[in-house]
Amino acid sequence: MEKIDRYPFFVEPFHVDFNGRMFMSVLGNHLLNAAGNHSQRRGWGIGALNEHQHTWVLSRLSIELEEMPYQYEHGEIQTWVENVIRLFTNRNFAILRADGTPYGYARSTWAMIDVETRKPCDLLTLYDGDILRYVVPEEECSCPIAGHGKFRFKAPKLVRTIETHYSDVDINGHINSIKYIEHILDLFPIERFREQRLKRFEIAYKTESYLGDCLSFFVEEADGETDVEVRKDSGEVVCQAKVQFV
Amino acid sequence: MEKIDRYPFFVEPFHVDFNGRMFMSVLGNHLLNAAGNHSQRRGWGIGALNEHQHTWVLSRLSIELEEMPYQYEHGEIQTWVENVIRLFTNRNFAILRADGTPYGYARSTWAMIDVETRKPCDLLTLYDGDILRYVVPEEECSCPIAGHGKFRFKAPKLVRTIETHYSDVDINGHINSIKYIEHILDLFPIERFREQRLKRFEIAYKTESYLGDCLSFFVEEADGETDVEVRKDSGEVVCQAKVQFV
């Protein structure tokens, strides 16, 4: 089995913004599908894992683009496992045009948890370390974007509170990972998208939120980036994001 | 060129609700893609039309299902033109399982407008009535669900007002046809989806709304159905929907 997987995509008309560029949330969805397929085909998919009481949990996702795919374009996502660090594995992505040149790249970090205890598992020993067979070292396949950034909130400002509804929830009853991306980008005034380009989007998933939770969005600008923190009613941090327009 | 087109679909994990069933909004998106492809391949696509200053406008969409596709299922949408009535054309859809049995059906009604004057065109004479070559009469291909229903609002009740944001807007700067479906279904309490099944969803698009418009949702229950009216700040009706749970 090859170590690198290919996931073709097509930029559908209802998946583009007013600039004709694919929504970042849609790209995020494609990346997660590509990751799921890659795992599934190697026996590490959610279905197989659930039989053994394990499941993947997405911890970080960072996407950086030179250009966002345009309406009706065809492209391909390539994905591979960069490394395994006991409780975490890093999976990278190349987002390619039909001619093979890159729109951009993405990095993601995942943990495997036991569905009963909710504790992370040691990936190096789980299933006799089977996942290590699929690692593609950096020198073989590079992902030329910076690693996940750090969040340093000093005095973030509450900018919006929303209720969550039917469309926000996934099959596990959690607020859908992709929906957070939509809600976070909806915080920005339209002029940002009109005058600038969304170059980099990072998200760090901290804890689950559920249908009916109110989500509060706190924002802090620093060094040309916008950091966003999403909190539940309880004040607990659900996720954090870093958004860079250029 | 065959008169009936086939559009395969796969039920992606982030496209299902908490019951594991595909979101109605996602199905709506697939139907519109299938319609777009069918038109495009026959020279009636948006791209070709824009060169002649014409564009399709969706007026009505009614979907009725015995079962909503479940996560990871593969299916196919078949679509064809049922008839042409001067300023409107009716396009039908069959939504089929991998084994060819129907999940359900859908009906849609479209007008062709001149992009300058915004006036509807006579489809029987436009391009020498080319569209008539693709009509599949009812006796050849049936769509066994009721036609579009009537709306009779007596005393609808305002239940929610929302602001519109970046993610709501399509390439034309209009609120995305699919997003209305999401916002409308988000009006229902989760128990409706938990205890009942969304059998039929109808929407009638009346006028465009734009980024920054506030949308107000008015609801009226009648004969086991819920009618929803969406209005802009001005009070103008943007769209109406009819939702039936069983």
| pLDDT per residue as tens digits for the range A37-64 | 999 888 877 666 667 788 899 999 999 9
- The predicted model scores a pTM of 0.95
Residue A78 pLDDT grade (very low, low, confident, very high; cuts 50, 70, 90): very high
| Mean pLDDT across B1-10 | 94
- Beta strand segments in B40-191, E: 54-65, 74-85, 88-97, 102-114, 157-163
The answer, for B71 touching chain A at a CB cutoff of 8 Å, is yes
Q: Which helix (H) or strand (E) holds A24?
A: helix A24-41
**What's the pLDDT score for residue A115?**
85
CA distance A192 to B227: 37
Its sign, for the CA torsion A43, A47, A48, A49, is positive
Residue A194 CA neighbour count, 13 Å, CB half: 7
**Does the pLDDT value for residue B47 go beyond 80?**
no
B223 against A76, higher pLDDT: A76
Q: Is A29 on the interface with B (CB under 8 A)?
A: yes
CA A228 vs. chain centroid, Å, equals 15
A185 contacts in B (CB within 8 Å)? 166-167
Give CA–CA dist B88/B2, Å, rounded: 22
**Average pLDDT of B211-235?**
95
pLDDT tens readout for residues B75-87 = 999 999 999 999 9
Token output for B81: 């033109």
Alpha-carbon gap: B229 to the closest alpha carbon of chain A (Å): 19
B18–A29 C-beta distance less than 8 A:
no
User: At A126, is the secondary structure helix, strand, or coil?
Assistant: helix
CB proximity A209 to B under 8 Å: no
pLDDT higher than threshold 70 for residue B48? no
What is the mean pLDDT of the segment spanning B133-141? 90
CATH homologous superfamily for the domain B157-245? Hotdog Thioesterase (3.10.129.10)
Reported as a single tens digit per residue, the pLDDT across A150-202 is: 998 999 999 999 999 999 999 999 999 999 999 999 999 999 999 999 999 99
Reply yes or no on whether the pLDDT at A148 is more than 90. yes
Q: In this complex, which of B18, B170, B190 lies closest to A18 when CB atoms are compared?
A: B170
> Which residue type, as a one-letter code, is found at position B37?
N
Q: What is the ipTM of this complex?
A: 0.94
pLDDT of residue B130: 85
Residue/partner pairs of A223-227 with CB below 8 Å, 24 or more apart: A225/A149, A226/A188, A227/A151, A227/A152, A227/A153, A227/A156
Q: Which residue has the tokens 């890093």?
A: A90
The predicted pLDDT at position B129 comes to 82
May I ask the CATH architecture of the domain B5-134?
A: Roll (3.10)
What interhelical angle do A24-41 and A177-185 show, nearest 10? 160
Q: How far is the C-alpha of B11 from the C-alpha of B201, rounded, in Å? A: 19
- Dist CA A231 CA A161 (whole Å): 9
**Taking CB atoms and an 8 Å limit, are A171 and B16 in contact across chains?**
yes
Q: pLDDT category, A126, cuts 50, 70, 90?
A: confident
Q: Where are the alpha helices (DSSP H) in chain B?
A: 24-41, 46-51, 177-185, 190-195
Question: Would you state the pLDDT for residue A45?
Answer: 72
CB B23 within 8 A of CB B15: yes
Is residue B92 scored above 70 in pLDDT? yes
Rounded mean pLDDT, B100-118: 94
Res. B54 pLDDT band, cuts 50 70 90 = confident
* Confidence label for A137 from pLDDT (cuts 50, 70 and 90): confident
Using alpha carbons, select from A28, A23, A94, A79 the residue that is nearest to residue A58: A28
Per-residue pLDDT for A98 more than 70? yes
Mean pLDDT over each residue of chain A, to the nearest integer: 94
Mean pLDDT estimate for chain B: 94
| Whether the predicted pLDDT of B51 surpasses 80 | no
Residue B54 β-bridge partners: B114
Alpha-carbon gap, residue A21 to A68, rounded angstroms? 6
Long-range contacts of B66-69 (CB under 8 A, 24+ apart): B66/B102, B66/B103, B66/B104, B67/B103, B67/B104, B68/B21, B68/B22, B68/B24, B68/B27, B68/B103, B68/B197, B68/B198, B69/B9, B69/B11, B69/B21, B69/B22, B69/B27, B69/B95, B69/B97, B69/B103
State the smallest CA–CA distance between residue A17 and chain B in angstroms.
5
Q: How far is A140 from chain B (nearest CA, A)?
A: 31
φ/ψ of A47, rounded to 5, equals -60, -50
Contact B190 A212 (CB under 8 A): yes
| Arithmetic mean of pLDDT, A25-48 | 90
Cβ neighbours of B176 in A, within 8 Å: 14
Listed in order, the ranges of chain A carrying CATH 3.10.129.10 are: 5-134, 157-245
Distance set, CA B56 to CA A213, B2, B36, B113, B207 (Å) = 40, 21, 9, 6, 14
